[in-house]
C-alpha cells in the first residue's frame, strides 16, 4: 500500500502545521482565548477563560455579540480595520489583563474574524516593563515641556566636550554641584561656555523639569534692574503695569537662575541679592509683602571678583555667599588637545541649524586653528567655523579656508609672542593690550557689527562703545 504519511518537505504542509502549532502553543500558554467571526459573534472560547468571563460553559458565549461577553471589547475593531492590537491592558471584572488581538484571514487575505489571547491575568510579572514604560513616558513629557518652554535648558554635560585637565576638572566639579543645592560661581574668560555648563548643572539636578532662567546683568539698565529681578507691585510707579510684574526670581521659582556677568551688578542691588540668597524670600518693588522663593543661583563672571571686592565695587559678603563652589573654565588656548573634538561638535551643531554641506575638518585646518590665540574662545571658534563653512564649496575645511578669515602667525598671538621672546611687561599694560585685542577680534569676527560684537563678548552695547572710546578704536559705518 502507498504511504499516507505527509510530505514534510512540502512548504504548504509545513506552513499549515506552523499555524496549527502556533495556535495550540498560544492556547496552552495563555490565560484565555476567544475568537469572533466577521459579524462580531463569538465562535470560540477556551475553558481557561470561563472563570474570568463569569461563565460556566463555553456554550453560554457561542453566537453572542462579543460586547455582551466582554464589555468594551476591541475585537470588533480588529475585524473592521484588519489591524492587530498586539499588546494592550484590558480591564475585566475588576482585574487588569494583558491581551493581544489579531485578525483572522482566509486564503485571499480577506478578514473573516479575529482572535484574542490573554497573555497575563496579573501584572506583577510585568512590573519592570511597566516601570520602564512609565519612565519613558515621564522622559517624553519632560522633553515635550522643554521643547515648548522657552525657559528650558537644552545643554547637558555631553555637550561640554573635552578631556584636558582643565575641562575634566570643571566637569567633575559641576557634576558634584548638580547633586547638591549649593550656589555656584563660574569663572573664566568670555566665550568659555559658562552658560552651557550652568544649563548642564541644571539638567543633571533634581530641578531639571523646572525653569532655567538666564539673565545678563550687564545688559539691564540700572534703573530697571531691581524690578527685573524682584518684580513690581501693581502701580508701583508711574508707567508700571497695573497688574504688576513677576521678577526673574519668581519666574525661576523651583528651578535655576543663571546670573551672567554678576560682577556688573550695582552695589545697591547686591544687598538685596544677598538677602534673597540668605533668606530665600523676595519683596517686589513697591510692595510691603514678602514671599518665599526656591531658586538655585548659578552666577558667572569673566572679571576678578576678588579685585572688585578690594576696589569696593563688590560686596565681600555677597562674594563669599556666591563662592560656595567656584568652578573655573579654562580658555580654549589651554585646551588645544581638545580642539578636534570641540570643532567636530561645533560643526555638528552648525550643520543642524542650516542647509550646509556635510562638514569635515582636515588636519591642516586644525593646525591653522591651533596657531591662533582665541581671545573669544569657543564662541569665537564657532563663529569662525560657520563662516568657513559658508564660504566653502565642498564642506571639507582645510588650512586655506581659514587663512583668508583668520589671522594666523605671530601677529595673532601677541601675548604668546612676548612670552616666547622673554619680554616682561607691567600687568596693567598687558591687561590693556589683551582687552584691546579682544575688542578688535570681536569686531573682526562680527564684520564690524557692534551689536553682534557686544553679544559675543557678553557685554552691553553701551559698555562696548565705552571700551572702543577708551582705546581709540573707531567703529566705522559698518558697525552702526
Percent pLDDT > 90 in the chain is 36
Non-local CB neighbours of 36 within 8 Å, separated by 6+ positions: 42, 43, 66, 75, 76, 79, 113, 114, 115
Mean pLDDT of 30-34: 86
In this prediction, residue 286 carries a pLDDT of 73
Fold exhibited by the domain 332-405: Helicase, Ruva Protein; domain 3 (1.10.8)
β-bridge mates for residue 338, sequence order: none
The 10s digit of each residue's pLDDT in 337-358 is 999 999 999 998 888 777 666 7
Which residues of the chain form CATH 1.10.10? 427-471
Q: What is the pLDDT of residues 136-185, one digit of tens each?
A: 666 665 555 554 454 567 889 989 999 999 999 999 999 999 999 999 99
Mean residue pLDDT of the chain comes to: 81
Question: What pLDDT score was predicted for residue 441?
Answer: 79
CATH 3.40.50.300 positions along the chain are 165-235+243-328
pLDDT band at 294 (very low <50, low <70, confident <90, very high): very high
The pLDDT score that the predictor gives to residue 342 is 94
pLDDT score, position 307: 93
Q: How far apart are CA 45 and CA 59, in angstroms?
A: 9
More confident site: 125 or 27: 27
Q: What is the mean pLDDT of residues 290-295?
A: 88
Three-class DSSP category at 250: helix
Quick one: pLDDT at residue 133?
64
β-strand partners of 102: 115
118 closest CA partner among 28, 21, 253: 28
Confidence at residue 95, expressed as pLDDT on a 0 to 100 scale:
77
CATH architecture for the domain at 427-471: Orthogonal Bundle (1.10)
Across 358-365, average pLDDT: 83
Residues 317-335 have a mean pLDDT of: 93
Fold category of 165-235+243-328 in CATH: Rossmann fold (3.40.50)
Bridge-based pairing state of the strands 281-282 and 396-397: unpaired
CB 337 within 8 A of CB 174: no
Residue 65 has pLDDT above 90, yes or no: yes
- Structural element, H or E, at residue 88: strand 85-92
Q: Outline where 94-148 has alpha helix (H).
A: 127-148
Mean pLDDT within 122-147: 59
Provide CATH 3.30.450.20 ranges for the chain: 21-122
pLDDT mean over 324-346: 93
Cell triple for 69: 461577553
pLDDT band (50, 70, 90) for residue 409 = very low
Stronger pLDDT, 231 or 196, i.e. the higher one: 196
User: Average pLDDT of 373-400?
Assistant: 88
Q: Where is average pLDDT lowest: 81-90, 185-194, 254-263, 432-441?
A: 432-441
Q: Which residue in 246, 261, 184, 165 sits closest to 211, CA to CA? A: 246
**Average pLDDT value for residue range 96-124:** 84
pLDDT exceeds 90 at position 314? yes
User: Between residues 366 and 436, which one has the greater pLDDT?
Assistant: 366
Q: Give ranges for CATH 1.10.8.60 in the chain.
A: 332-405
**Lookup: cell for 391:** 564660504
Say yes or no to pLDDT of 205 above 80: yes
Strand blocks (E) in 268-413: 281-282, 291-292, 296-301, 325-328, 360-361, 396-397
Q: Residue 123 in contact with residue 98, Cβ under 8 Å? A: yes
Contact 262, 322 (CB under 8 A): yes
User: Which is nearest to 328 in space by CA: 204, 169, 220, 205?
Assistant: 169
| Span 451-469, average pLDDT | 81
For domain 21-122, give the fold.
Beta-Lactamase (3.30.450)
Amino acid at each position: 500500500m502507498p504511504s499516507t504519511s505527509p510530505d514534510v518537505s512540502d512548504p504548504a504542509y509545513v506552513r499549515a502545521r506552523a499555524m496549527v502549532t502556533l495556535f495550540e502553543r498560544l492556547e496552552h500558554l495563555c490565560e484565555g482565548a476567544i475568537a469572533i467571526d466577521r459579524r462580531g459573534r463569538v465562535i470560540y472560547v477556551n475553558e481557561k477563560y470561563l472563570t474570568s468571563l463569569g461563565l460556566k460553559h463555553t456554550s453560554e458565549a457561542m453566537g453572542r455579540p462579543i460586547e455582551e461577553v466582554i464589555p468594551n471589547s476591541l475585537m470588533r475593531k480588529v475585524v473592521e480595520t484588519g489591524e492587530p492590537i498586539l499588546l494592550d491592558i484590558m480591564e475585566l471584572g475588576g482585574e487588569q489583563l494583558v491581551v493581544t488581538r489579531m485578525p483572522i484571514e482566509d486564503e485571499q487575505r480577506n478578514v473573516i474574524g479575529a482572535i484574542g489571547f490573554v497573555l497575563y491575568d496579573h501584572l506583577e510579572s510585568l512590573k519592570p516593563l511597566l516601570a520602564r514604560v512609565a519612565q519613558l513616558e515621564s522622559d517624553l513629557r519632560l522633553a515635550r515641556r522643554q521643547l515648548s518652554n522657552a525657559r528650558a535648558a537644552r545643554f547637558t554635560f555631553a555637550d561640554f566636550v573635552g578631556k584636558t585637565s582643565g575641562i575634566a576638572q570643571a566637569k567633575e566639579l559641576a557634576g558634584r554641584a548638580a547633586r547638591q543645592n549649593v550656589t555656584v560661581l563660574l569663572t573664566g574668560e568670555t566665550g568659555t561656555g559658562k552658560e552651557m555648563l550652568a544649563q548642564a548643572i541644571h539638567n543633571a539636578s533634581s530641578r531639571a523639569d523646572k525653569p532655567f532662567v538666564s539673565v545678563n546683568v550687564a545688559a539691564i539698565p540700572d534703573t530697571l534692574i531691581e524690578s527685573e529681578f524682584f518684580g513690581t507691585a501693581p502701580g508701583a510707579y508711574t508707567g508700571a503695569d497695573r497688574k504688576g510684574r513677576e521678577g526673574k526670581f519668581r519666574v525661576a521659582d523651583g528651578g535655576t537662575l543663571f546670573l551672567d556677568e554678576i560682577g556688573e551688578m550695582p552695589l545697591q542691588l547686591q544687598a538685596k541679592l544677598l538677602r534673597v540668597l540668605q533668606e530665600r524670600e523676595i519683596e517686589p518693588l513697591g510692595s510691603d509683602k514678602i514671599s518665599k522663593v526656591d531658586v538655585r543661583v548659578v552666577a558667572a563672571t569673566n572679571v576678578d571678583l576678588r579685585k572688585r571686592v578690594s576696589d569696593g565695587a563688590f560686596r565681600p559678603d555677597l562674594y563669599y555667599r556666591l563662592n560656595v563652589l567656584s568652578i573655573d573654565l579654562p580658555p580654549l588656548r589651554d585646551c588645544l588637545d581638545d580642539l578636534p573634538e570641540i570643532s567636530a561638535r561645533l560643526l555638528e551643531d552648525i550643520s543642524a541649524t542650516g542647509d550646509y554641506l556635510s562638514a569635515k575638518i582636515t588636519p591642516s585646518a586644525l593646525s591653522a586653528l591651533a596657531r591662533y590665540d582665541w581671545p573669544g574662545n569657543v564662541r569665537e571658534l564657532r563663529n569662525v567655523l560657520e563662516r568657513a563653512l559658508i564660504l566653502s564649496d565642498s564642506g571639507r575645511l582645510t588650512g586655506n579656508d581659514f587663512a583668508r578669515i583668520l589671522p594666523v602667525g605671530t601677529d595673532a598671538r601677541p601675548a604668546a609672542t612676548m612670552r616666547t621672546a622673554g619680554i616682561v611687561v607691567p600687568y596693567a599694560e598687558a591687561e590693556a593690550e589683551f582687552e584691546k585685542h579682544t575688542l578688535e577680534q570681536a569686531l573682526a569676527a562680527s564684520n564690524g557689527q557692534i551689536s553682534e560684537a557686544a553679544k559675543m563678548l557678553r557685554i552691553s552695547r553701551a559698555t562696548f562703545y565705552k571700551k572702543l572710546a577708551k582705546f581709540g578704536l573707531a567703529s566705522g559705518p559698518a558697525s552702526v
